[in-house]
Amino acid sequence: MDLAITPLPGGFGARVETDLARTTGSAAARALTDALHRHRVLVLPGQHLSHADLLAAASLFGAVDTATDRRYTVPGFPGLTVVSNIHENGTPIGIYDGDQEEEWHADNSFKPQLTAATLLYSVITPGKGGETRFADATRAYADLPTGLRARIDGLRAVHSIQHLATQQANAADGRSSTQAGTLVQLPEVTHPLAPIHPATGARTLLLGSMVIPHIEGLPETEGRTLLADLLTHTTSPGYLYTHRWKQDDLVVWDNLAVLHTASPCDSSPHPRLLVRAAIRHSTRRSGPSDGGNPAELPASRQNRH
């Protein structure tokens, strides 16, 4: 299958023109997955997806992770999660950690098995703020000095959902979706600081501004300094792409190759609602190279088949 792909400026990411509601088959899955591994972030504008369509589109990239926070899972659609700053009766309808939240991370790094890819579909788009920023952790690793790469290649970092919940609450006046969530009892896990991508063979930097309490085997101060220096490097302007959402945008990113964060958004005048799907880790090798219940898609999309 041939895709109309236009690389984005900045060295990573691409715009893809295709109708995912009508895209099926192994050839399409292969082409999309290979494009994702090559460009790391795919922007697919103008999609019109029901919940069923979104799950079908996600399955083109692999097996959908259904072990999600049950509070915000879309009813009847395991694997789809609402991300939103909208509140009903004082309670957020989706994952929400404050209007000022900025947390660089790779999705679900607090799980033993890393998320391979994430799809995020915009249903209600804010007029201002709420962008998603991506950092090219793959190129950031490649640009590190040789000696620093050698130093970190064998290191492992602890990823803790409890630490994440505490850090989020401290940053948002006690508010943390994670802290009140159904996954908060997961035990700590460790992951390589510079893992090798299973499909491309390239090393990347697996970092997080709130989820990592320490690096195994390093004194606390030394580990914190190293993590801060690596994150500052990885999120410097030369490695960034900022996606300004439009309604019906779908963005897919290689969660093993980039980091991301939401940008601040004033929830009162600027509601934001997206629906997310996460793809479980796969070892398949690529080829060369948040009116009515706002947690629901509009009825016209729900009824599509």
**pLDDT tens track for 25-60:** 999 999 999 999 999 999 999 999 999 999 999 999
pLDDT at 288: 36
Instruction: Output the average pLDDT for the chain.
Output: 89
Find, among 25, 17, 11, the residue nearest to 57 by Cα. 25
Between 248 and 176, the higher pLDDT residue: 248
Q: Is the pTM of this model over 0.85?
A: yes
pLDDT at 182: 64
pLDDT at 285: 43
| pLDDT band at residue 175 using 50, 70 and 90 as cut-offs | low
Percent of the chain with pLDDT over 70: 88
Q: Which pair of structure tokens corresponds to residue 279? A: 């793809």
Q: Which pair of structure tokens corresponds to residue 62? A: 């692999």
Please list, residue by residue across 98-131, b when 16 or more beta carbons sit within 10 angstroms of its beta carbon and e when fewer do.
Answer: bbebebbbbbbbbbeebbbbbbbbbbbbbeebbe
pLDDT in tens, 98-136: 888 789 999 999 999 999 999 999 999 999 999 999 999
